[in-house]
Amino acid sequence: MAESENIVAETAEKIFADLADAQTINHDNKGEWKAPLWQALTEAGLPLSWVPDDLGGSGASLAEGFAVLNVAGRHAIAVPLAETMLAGWLLTQAKIASPEGEMTVVPASPKDRIALAADGSLSGRARGVPFAKEARHFAVLAGGNGGMTIALVDAAKCRIESGIGLGGDHSDTVTLDKVQPVAIKPAPDKFDQTALMLMGGVVRSLQIAGSLEAMLEISVRYSNERVAFEKKISKFQAVQHNLARLAGESAAALAAATSAADTIVHATSLNNDAVFLEAASAKIRCSEAAEKGGGIAHQVHGAIGFTIEHILHRYSLRALAWRDDFGSESHWAVELGKLVANRGADELWPLVASR
């Protein structure tokens, strides 16, 4: 990690440590912690990290932003930081200035479509949009008139059906009915919904990897504190075996996520096989790790880990919820299979070995 990435990630880490302590948040039923945290993040320029200075952002690099997202995952942040960063990145593709405040991306699933009419209005329905209820604006990718367009939409002009995801955060249904956008411009050549989903998938992969790191740390600490049969449970072989498995899942997720992020950082376009292979593989592997790793962490903690009072569920449930955003692991497994099949048997090994 470059020195600048370290500085940006360290800034995020300090803000989260000061204002997003998991135990404090877990006991705050009114959500009073959110406003001070968002204010601090905004003052540091983190929500618009990927937006250049001339478009209203802080002009951080892709690598710096990816580092922030991994840190956010380690703290299981329940504010739309990742969503606002991704929305700002999408708007930047069309050189649309980003407004202040919370944003999210529409659509957030490969199956949903937003259509652009001849009069410039947008219509369509998108399900499972993270933090839509809390967002002031949406960055929308729409198809129509012979190509893709990117639009900035006022959230107040859309119908939002509130929903809660597995992690307890908003996962809402957004309906646009002939909505006139605040700004709209053509998407770059060859930029499509798959490119957006791949970028979103890498964002979620980094967050999952971060949450697994936190679950491993929490589990190791607990195993060294909990005493059973007059000795720490970390001394039992079965617990040691589980912790080793959890460490393996965490390491695999981090390796897959950071490799995909690095590929995007150095790619000239998201429309190539290398990005597709890395991003799809990362989402698949990190999603699998979320299921296996979360289960192991709760096993280590026993009954206490399932209680609402314990912080473990903040990480495990969000990691599981992030599996479905921007394409589930089953979706990307099918799409990855199609890529391999289309390339043919002779190209399988060169494709795999190239990464």
Query: Could you report the per-residue pLDDT of 305-334, keeping only the tens digit for each?
Result: 888 889 999 999 999 999 999 999 999 999
Q: Is residue 95 part of a domain?
A: no
Both 280 and 344 in a single domain? yes
Residue of 40, 57, 323 lying closest to 167 (CA atoms): 323
Average confidence (pLDDT) over 119-135: 96
Both 263 and 327 in a single domain? yes
DSSP 167-183: TSSBEEEEEEEEEPPSE
Single residue among 190, 225, 252 that ends a domain in this structure: 190
Residues 241-280: tens digit of each pLDDT = 999 999 999 999 999 999 999 999 999 889 888 899 999 9
Both 152 and 212 in a single domain? no
* CB of 276 closer than 8 Å to CB of 198: yes
User: Could you tell me the CA-to-CA distances from 141 to 66, 179, 193 in Å, in that order?
Assistant: 22, 13, 7
Both 201 and 341 in a single domain? yes
Q: Is residue 183 part of a domain?
A: yes
Both 146 and 121 in a single domain? yes
Both 240 and 334 in a single domain? yes
Both 280 and 174 in a single domain? no
Q: Is residue 88 part of a domain?
A: no
User: Could you tell me the CA-to-CA distances from 44 to 72, 106, 149, 247 in Å, in that order?
Assistant: 14, 25, 30, 32
Q: Is residue 90 part of a domain?
A: no
Residues 13-66: tens digit of each pLDDT = 999 999 988 888 888 778 889 999 999 999 999 999 999 999 999 999 999 999
Q: Is residue 37 part of a domain?
A: yes
The predicted structure's pLDDT at residue 351: 77
Residue range of the domain that includes 139: 102-190
Single residue among 190, 222, 255 that ends a domain in this structure: 190
DSSP 122-137: EEEEEEEEETGGG-SE
Single residue among 77, 110, 135 that ends a domain in this structure: 77
Read off the tokens for 291. Answer: 């299921």
Number of domains in the chain: 3
Both 52 and 173 in a single domain? no
List, in order, residues 6 or more apart from 271 with CB less than 8 Å away. 190, 191, 192, 194, 195
Both 173 and 243 in a single domain? no
Q: Is residue 86 part of a domain?
A: no
Q: Is residue 21 part of a domain?
A: yes
Q: Is residue 83 part of a domain?
A: no
Both 344 and 201 in a single domain? yes
First to last CA, the chain: 20
Residues 44 and 246: their CA atoms lie apart, in Å, by 34
The predicted structure's pLDDT at residue 7: 87
Both 117 and 153 in a single domain? yes
Both 176 and 31 in a single domain? no
What sign does the CA torsion over 331, 323, 82, 84 have? positive
The predicted structure's pLDDT at residue 139: 98
